[in-house]
Amino acid sequence: MPDHVENPRAIAKAEIKDNQVKYSVLVIGDVTNGNSDVILENIRGEMLLGDSAYHASHPFKIDRILPFQSGTVSMTLEGNEKEMKPVLDFLQVGVDKLLEEASGKKTGASEMVNIKSESITMRIISCDKKDIETIFKEKGKTDEKNK
């Protein structure tokens, strides 16, 4: 069963709308099925970001992950500067830099941040497991119906 998030990264950006600055952080990671012959289905879990100083959590759901493949989990955090300062400080993203990009003074994409793997964890609440051979039987039955 997957027990950690791989390749965690975050995209932070600022948007100016109606003279107000709105910050958003999209946290993305991959959940890999390392089993060679088990399909994971209806995966429900919780993604946890942070450490002793800051933490945020978000539920996720992945329909199916085939063997040796990955599913993507994500969490979006939004708010004004006061609400978002803890997470931006945690990710070591400069507010000034985001404001510069938002106001168009500095061109470039939103800031992509790599997250330390120990700062993001996950736990699986429920998951169905199926043997890989079931996909052959499912399709076999479908083929028979279609004949």
Partner 1 sequence: MKKINDSKIYLIFTIIVLVLTVLLGAISYYSIFSVEPEIARLLSSDKNVAENYKRAYEQLRNPQIFARYENFDRDAQKIKDNLIPYFDSKISKGEAFTQEEGPYLNILLERRKQGSVLGRNTMVFFFLLTLLGLGFWLYEKKNSVEKS
Kindly state the smallest distance separating residue 68's Cβ from partner 1, in Å: 5
Kindly state the smallest distance separating residue 5's Cβ from partner 1, in Å: 19
What span, in angstroms and rounded, lies between the C-alpha atoms of 141 and 145?
Answer: 6
What span, in angstroms and rounded, lies between the C-alpha atoms of 47 and 26?
Answer: 13
- Give 19 or 146: the residue with its C-beta nearer to partner 1: 146
Kindly state the smallest distance separating residue 133's Cβ from partner 1, in Å: 7
Q: Which burial class, exposed, middle or buried, applies to 97 when counting CB atoms under 10 A from its CB (0-12, 13-18, 19+)?
A: middle
- Give 34 or 59: the residue with its C-beta nearer to partner 1: 34
Residues at the contact surface with partner 1, assessed by CB under 8 A: 34-37, 64, 66-69, 132-133, 135-136, 139, 142
- Give 24 or 35: the residue with its C-beta nearer to partner 1: 35
What span, in angstroms and rounded, lies between the C-alpha atoms of 103 and 14?
Answer: 9
Kindly state the smallest distance separating residue 111's Cβ from partner 1, in Å: 30
Distances (CA, A) of 52 to 90, 94, 108, 144: 11, 21, 33, 57
- Give 112 or 135: the residue with its C-beta nearer to partner 1: 135
